[in-house]
Amino acid sequence: MPVIKYPRVRDPLFYEWDRKAQKSGLRHTIYAVNGDQYTGEWLDNLKHGKGTQIWKSTGAIYSGDWKFGKRDGYGSYSILDPVTKEYRRVYTGWWENDRRGGRGMFFYPNGELYEGEWSNGLRSGWGKMHYKDGSTYEGQWLSDQHNGQGLLRLPNGNRYEGGWKDGKKHGPGKYFYPDKGQLLEGIWVADIPKCGVLVDFGRDNAPDPTQFPLPEVIAWKFWYLYSSSARVSSPGSISLLKRFPPWGVYSESFGQQRPRWPHRD
């Protein structure tokens, strides 16, 4: 009895090729159409786990954690220096959803350095910035600007401790002048001191003190609107206590050489 054989039903070749192209687990280097290359772990055709990506157009390289095709976790990002042809580290730290997020260190091209917290690729949270001129800022940040409480140290030793808003001194704060041996304590608005008291602070040890010490400042006291009072604070010097709304009370002295601060705007 004759036997009839039917041809085996086979899937088209592109189905087989597609199955082989599916990427999961550790794979060798995979090249994209634009020339980018990735070596590392995959999950469901997405970069997931540990891996290294090199971008063809810029020569930049990222090595670290991936999550569903995006940089997420701990990793380091470097770029290729066009002059030295060596890799220069740009950022080392934590990533969230393909952006800098969490704690990390960022190295700027001009030599400046930021180490601290990030959110959505911007400096946000607590961090310390080392500027090129030698000054440093340590404190709170929001959207790449000083916001909250922070300490600014200048190269000459002067420093400001207090409030910040949108990158400017704002709110109660203290400005120390170790070179002059003075301390300014008051209220700032948009980097401008509006109200405060200037007193001697470590004047005996200051390298460049003022010619005359400041007279004793009258204790602050709330008076009636536009009230004023005068008294002799020291021989040849009269201190006048004034109140100008809305900045409060301050002391002005006459009869000695001293800066008259704050000025009423």
Following DSSP, what letter does each residue of 76-97 receive, concatenated?
A: EEEEE-TTT--EEEEEEEEEET
CA distance 105 to 87: 16
Identify the pLDDT of residue 239.
Answer: 37
The vertex-103 CA angle with 62 and 79, nearest 5°, equals 25
Q: How many CB atoms are located within 10 Å of the residue 78 CB?
A: 18
Higher pLDDT, 35 or 5: 35
CA distance 255 to 257: 7
pLDDT confidence tier of residue 19, bands split at 50, 70 and 90: low
Q: What is the pLDDT of residues 156-186, one digit of tens each?
A: 889 999 999 999 999 999 999 888 888 889 9
Strand order through the sheet with 248-254: 228-234, 237-244, 248-254
- Token pair recorded at residue 31: 């090249």
8-37 average pLDDT score: 76
Q: What is the pLDDT of residues 207-247, one digit of tens each?
A: 777 766 777 655 444 333 334 443 433 333 333 333 333 33
Identify the pLDDT of residue 167.
Answer: 95
pLDDT confidence tier of residue 20, bands split at 50, 70 and 90: low
The mean pLDDT of the chain is 80
Residue 40, strand partner residues: 27, 51
Identify the pLDDT of residue 84.
Answer: 85
Q: Residue 14: pLDDT above 70?
A: no
Helix (H, G, I), strand (E, B), or coil: what is residue 90? strand
Identify the pLDDT of residue 208.
Answer: 75
Q: Residue 59: pLDDT above 50?
A: yes
- Token pair recorded at residue 199: 């007193």
Omega before 155 within 30 of 0, i.e. cis: no
Identify the pLDDT of residue 231.
Answer: 40
Domain ranges of the chain: 10-93
CB 95 within 8 A of CB 65: yes
Identify the pLDDT of residue 195.
Answer: 87
For residue 73, how many C-alpha atoms fall within 13 Å in the half-sphere facing its CB? 16
pTM: 0.71
73-86 average pLDDT score: 91
Identify the pLDDT of residue 10.
Answer: 73
In sequence order, the 6+-apart residues with CB closer than 8 A to the CB of 113 are 105, 106, 107, 129, 130
Closest by CA to 94, choosing from 74, 113, 66, is 74
